[in-house]
Amino acid sequence: MKFKDVAILGSYISKDYAEPLFKLLVNYKSISASEAASRLSLHIRTVQDFLEAMTELKILKKEEVYEKKRPYNRYMLNQHYIKMEIDLNKLLESDSEINNNSIKIREKINSGARFTTARNGQYFSNVAIWVGKGREGKERKISLTESQGRFLFNLPFPNAAYMDIKQIMKKANINSEHTSEISDIVKLLEEYEIVETNSNS
């Protein structure tokens, strides 16, 4: 099950009315939203949203029927077991570009970012960026891991030559096991135009 689907399922299954609704679905061959809402004294929109969400997740299935030429849906269980399983490995940042040296990086000129140096002066502890424009803008401070701080401490200046990420990591004495967190902060700072990249791919 995809992370997004688990999140949707979790948000609905945590509701107080989830178990009573599933109990109806188990015990009835099929049921409409209005029938379930009436039976449990719930608002029909609440029940409708729940049933449709479960149908999208393929836990339920629905059938359109007619009553006095007016169509409505009846819902029934499509599966009797719900297994919530998330493969967190799929969230791992891809480091193929880094390993292939296909992406080079440096600080962007006039980025407006403010880097704060840690007490020992060997790495940055956080970076502050300005998000938004004019009066609507606000400062966002991003706390850095030590590896991210050392990486950014060794980031080439705007007027310097680009360096590939593995080179910077080596210069900053960062172990390869931290590659994914370096990749994450690079992507974030690129999004906010704090760093710029020069891809060879």
The pLDDT value recorded for residue 83 is: 86
Instruction: Tell me the C-alpha distance between 51 and 40, whole Å.
Output: 14
Instruction: Tell me the C-alpha distance between 27 and 21, whole Å.
Output: 10
Residue ranges in the chain whose pLDDT is less than 50 = 200-201
The pLDDT value recorded for residue 13 is: 93
The pLDDT value recorded for residue 108 is: 93
pTM > 0.75: no
The pLDDT value recorded for residue 79 is: 94
CA 52 to chain centre: 23
Which tens digits make up the pLDDT trace of 40-88? 999 999 999 999 999 999 999 999 998 777 899 999 999 999 988 888 8
Topology of domain 3-77, CATH? Arc Repressor Mutant, subunit A (1.10.10)
Can you give the residue ranges of every domain in the chain? Answer: 3-77, 93-199
* CB burial of residue 129 (10 Å; 0-12, 13-18, 19+): middle
Instruction: Tell me the C-alpha distance between 19 and 8, whole Å.
Output: 16
Q: Rounded to whole angstroms, what are the CA distances from 12 to 16, 21, 73?
A: 9, 11, 20
